[in-house]
Chains A and B, each alone.
Chain A
Amino acid sequence: DTEVTQTPKHLVMGMTNKKSLKCEQHMGHRAMYWYKQKAKKPPELMFVYSYEKLSINESVPSRFSPECPNSSLLNLHLHALQPEDSALYLCASSRGLAVTDTQYFGPGTRLTVL
């Protein structure tokens, strides 16, 4: 398996809802990432996990809560989001945290917050 998968593909939620995004890879990669991408903008890094431990948190609001249950799985728990949080959420993975380790992206979850 040489792909990063994400579920769901689309998600619509209200500001009081709690939902989770899921990302999975079976390439043996030990680093996983969450990015947020607004329309016509580049991906913005949110979180980095290395060997299942949070390595980087780019000052993301606490309404976004990442979780890495094992080396293949990465979740993003969402609670009390705002309409401006509507975006494409991309997961990526890489062999390690060396900057030259290529990052492979999943197809993303298109999130709409009403």
Chain B
Amino acid sequence: GENVEQHPSTLSVQEGDSAVIKCTYSDSASNYFPWYKQELGKRPQLIIDIRSNVGEKKDQRIAVTLNKTAKHFSLHITETQPEDSAVYFCAASIYSGAGSYQLTFGKGTKLSVIP
């Protein structure tokens, strides 16, 4: 099965409303959870990340929450603006064998902010 599940796959919100994207992971040893934003035709860019010893992190209009017990984490965008429209990928550190970890990405959420 998938190591990182992301929902929803598409999300449309009115400008000024909030958007929430949720991810779950399977490896209880995962300890790092970044979120990337990818605009059409551009590179993925890190927008926020959270480590397993923190429950919540905020950066202006963007926040991420982590529930280690339930193995899920969420991205919250408040006061959305048209320039927030993009595909958002969550990721989690997944054990890849031989004592090493690598990032596994969720399938992405296409966020559309309607002016």
Contact = CB atoms under 8 A, between A and B. Distances in A.
* Interface SS, A side: loop
A99 B42 contact: no
Interface stretch (B12-20, B65-73, B101-109): B101-109
**Contact residues of B: prevailing secondary structure:** strand
A99 B32 contact: yes
A108 B43 contact: yes
Among A43, A56, A99, A100, residue most surrounded by chain B Cβ atoms (within 10 Å): A99
Interface residues of B, number: 23
27 contacts: A40-B87, A40-B108, A41-B107, A41-B108, A42-B106, A42-B107, A42-B108, A43-B44, A43-B89, A43-B105, A45-B102, A56-B102, A90-B43, A90-B44, A97-B100, A99-B32, A99-B101, A99-B103, A100-B31, A100-B51, A100-B93, A102-B34, A102-B49, A103-B46, A105-B44, A106-B43, A107-B43
Interface of A: 40-43, 45, 48, 55-56, 90, 97, 99-100, 102-108
